[in-house]
């Protein structure tokens, strides 16, 4: 009988703790800056970026965390919960492609040779700016391997 009272109290305590944790977790999800869902295509000279990343960094008075996504076969997607902060964001893009050659890595494993295909003026020296809005949006990036002055505040 003593054990049944203990287990009832223990079960009630566990249920109360779970309920509090769920409520606390839900309230935390609503905190922080508003974000937008973003997806799009990334090409360089018309060729899809095979592998890479796109990063959104809040700038010009917009504050919040940096957001990003992997680029696979020229496409990327970021959900609203992980997406960029609503407002002005600097966009930095990296990417590589296979050369068709095989090389050995540091562990002597045969791998595909990859070369960078996105010039630094789209990543470390980027001036790409996008205005992120609430909800879903598409930002396609048609990049050039030659230095081209792109308008700084282009909304696509």
Domain that holds residue 122: 36-143
* pTM for the full predicted model: 0.71
The label of the residue with tokens 């905190």 reads: 31
Q: Are residues 46 and 121 part of one domain?
A: yes
**Per-residue three-class SS string for the chain:** CHHHHHHHHHHHHHHHHHHHHHHHHHHHHCCCCCEEEEEEEEEECCEECCEEEEEEEECCCCCCCCEEEEEECCEEEECCCCCCECEEEEEEEEEEEEEEEEEECCCCCEEEEEEECCCHHHCCCCCEEEEECCEEEECCEEECCCCCCCCCECCC
Burial class of residue 75, CB neighbours in 10 A (0-12, 13-18, 19+) = middle
Which pLDDT tens digits describe the chain residue by residue (156 residues)? 444 444 344 444 434 444 443 444 444 445 789 999 999 999 999 999 999 999 999 999 999 999 999 999 999 999 999 999 999 999 999 999 888 999 998 999 999 888 899 999 999 999 999 999 999 999 999 999 886 555 444 444
Considering the domain architecture, whether residues 10 and 58 belong to the same structural domain is answered as: no
Examine the domain organization and report whether 2 and 74 are in the same domain.
no
Residues 76 and 27 in one domain: no
Handedness of CA 11, 12, 13, 18 (dihedral sign): positive
Burial class of 130 by CB neighbour count within 10 A (0 to 12, 13 to 18, 19+) = buried
Based on the domain organization, do 48 and 100 belong to the same domain?
A: yes
CATH of the domain at 130: 2.60.40
Instruction: Count up the domains in the chain and report the number.
Output: 2
Whether residue 86 sits in one domain with residue 22: no
Confirm if 56 and 15 have CB atoms less than 8 A apart: no
């Amino acid at each position: 009988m003593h054990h049944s009272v203990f287990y009832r109290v223990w079960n009630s305590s566990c249920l109360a703790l779970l309920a509090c944790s769920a409520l606390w977790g839900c309230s935390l999800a609503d905190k922080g800056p508003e974000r937008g869902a973003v997806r799009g295509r990334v090409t360089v000279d018309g060729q899809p970026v095979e592998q890479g990343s796109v990063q959104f960094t809040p700038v010009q008075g917009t504050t919040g965390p940096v957001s990003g996504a992997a680029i696979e076969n020229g496409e990327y997607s970021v959900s609203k919960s992980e997406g960029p902060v609503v407002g002005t964001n600097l966009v930095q893009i990296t990417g590589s492609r296979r050369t068709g050659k095989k090389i050995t890595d540091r562990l002597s494993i045969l791998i595909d040779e990859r070369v960078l295909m996105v010039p630094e003026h789209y990543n470390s020296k980027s001036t790409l700016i996008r205005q992120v809005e609430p909800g879903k949006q598409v930002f396609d990036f048609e990049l050039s391997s030659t230095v081209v002055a792109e308008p700084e505040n282009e909304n696509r």
